[in-house]
Every structure is written in structure tokens, then in C-alpha cells.
Structure 1
Amino acid sequence: MRKASCGLTAKQLEQCCGRWPGVTRDIKWGGDLVFSVGGKMFVVTPLDGTEGGRLSFKVEDERFLELTDQPGIIPAPYMARAHWVSVIEPQRFATAELEAFIRQAYTLVRAKLTKKVQADLGAWPAPAEKS
């Protein structure tokens, strides 16, 4: 039986969301890899894997408290008011679970873009295949 992988590296994050419509990637604040859609950030991680591979991303308003009550997840510094969380212990979570959080973050941020920008982005990405 194959053990489920845990955590999510910057390279895996790139593979996960780098090809979604409208996603751009850049480096901010000296060393954070930032993925955005329509110019709006949806996930941030240290490019060099420091800080235990921390991942910060947008979550649904109603899930913010539920998620930050879990071990390994805290309100994201400076971004908590916008309902962002930081997974400070990503190895506690299956890679597939983290990828689902990132996909939801993309969906949330994309849905807040203007209808014109959304239309310009093209079709939404198909749901990830279960393996």
C-alpha cells in the first residue's frame, strides 16, 4: 500500500495551479512565491522552502474559524482580516488536501473578479482527477 504524500513544495504548488486560467506567479517581499489570478493573490509560500514550507491562502469566510482551530493552521499574519490562513505545519496534511485548499482559494478569488475579467480568463479548470 502506497503512503499518501504530505505537505506541498513550491514545485508541487507550481504543478498544481500554474496552468490554471489567468494564474500568474511572481516573487514578493524578497522570497515569497505568490500565485495570483486577475492580479489578486490566492496563495503564498516561501520560494526556498523555509518556514517548514508554510502555505498561506484565502479560505471561505465561514471556514476561517474552523480551520484556524486545527493544529498547524493559524490566521495569516497581515491577511487574517481577509480570511487568509497560514498552514505552518504543512506536513500534518495530505498533499491532496492542501491542493484542494489551494483550488478553493483560486475559486474564491476568481469569483470576486469582475464578470468581464472572469470571461477574459476563459473556462474554469476541470476538477482534479482522483487517483
Structure 2
Amino acid sequence: MTRDEFNTFCARLPETNHVVQWGNADVWKVDTKVFAICGWHENDAAFTFKVSDIAWEVLQDQPGIRPAPYLASRGMKWLQHYAAPGLSDTALSEHLMLSYLLVSENLTRKRRNALGLPDTLEALRQAMTQD
């Protein structure tokens, strides 16, 4: 996945917004909460996202994937895909959607309802195909 493809994908998720910060990183938020970051690792894009406990245990030692700098050192379960082989584009897209859902769970129910946020992966996929 390229940086442009990453930004296009994240822009399709409901109620997201984009800012550039932290040394030219593309930071994507659902409402006010960060769910994905694209920055640079050497000459390639590096993609950072929140993961479940199981994904954290399974993926963190895979080639091309590591605990996310700064975030993981603070006890947060965030991974970074930074080099090949890493994740396929399809798997990365799935993890970005799951990160979106995990992060949106930290919003109040009232706020999630006001924004009309999907609460399951299937509902999120449907919301993305409606555009």
C-alpha cells in the first residue's frame, strides 16, 4: 500500500478527519481519536494502527511489523508495518478498519450514536460501500 492509497482508504471510513503533524505524518482520526498514522521509515511509508490483544501477540514479531515506536513503549497495543514482507494490502486494510472500530469504542455511546458510527466490521464494510 502506498501513502496515497492509505490516505484514500482512510478517507472512505465514516466520520474521519485528517491532519498532518509530527514531522509530516498523515494522522487519521475518528472524531477526535487517532486510529491510523502514516509516516516514513527510511525510504518507505510506515503504517501505524491500534490492534486487539490477540493481534498484538501474533503480529508483533512478524518480519516487517514491530511494536509502534512511542505508542507501544507507553503500554499501548499499536503496531507498525514498516517493511516487506509485513502485511498484504488486504490484511493492512482489515487492520486499519479494526483499529478504527477499536478507537471508536473509546468514544461515548452518545457520541458514537450522534455520529452514526458503525459498531461492527460488517457494518463498517457496508458503510464504506454506500459511497
> What range describes the TM-score normalised by the shorter chain of this pair?
0.7 to 0.9
User: Comparing both chains, which one has the higher relative contact order based on Cα–Cα distances under 8 Å and sequence gaps of 6 or more?
Assistant: 1
- Which residue of 69, 77, 84 corresponds with 2:78? 84
Q: CA RMSD in A?
A: 2.0
| Percent identity between the two aligned chains | 29
Contact 2:37 2:48 in 1 (8 A): yes
| Unaligned residue ranges in structure 1 (runs of 5+) | 1-7
**Distance 1:109-1:98 versus aligned 2 partners, 3 A rule:** same
Give the alignment's TM-score, normalised by structure 2.
0.82
| Unaligned residue ranges in structure 2 (runs of 5+) | 119-123
Q: Which amino acid aligns with 1:37?
A: V
Which segments of structure 1 move beyond 3 Å, counting only runs of 4 or more? 48-51
- Which residue of 2, 10, 17 corresponds with 1:17? 10
Partner of 1:93: 87
Partner of 1:42: 35
3-state secondary structure, aligned to 1:34: strand
Instruction: Figure out how many residues of one structure are paired with residues of the other and give that number.
Output: 121
Partner of 1:126: 125
**Distance 1:56-1:113 versus aligned 2 partners, 3 A rule:** same
Give the alignment's TM-score, normalised by structure 1.
0.82
Contact 1:10 1:49 in 2 (8 A): no
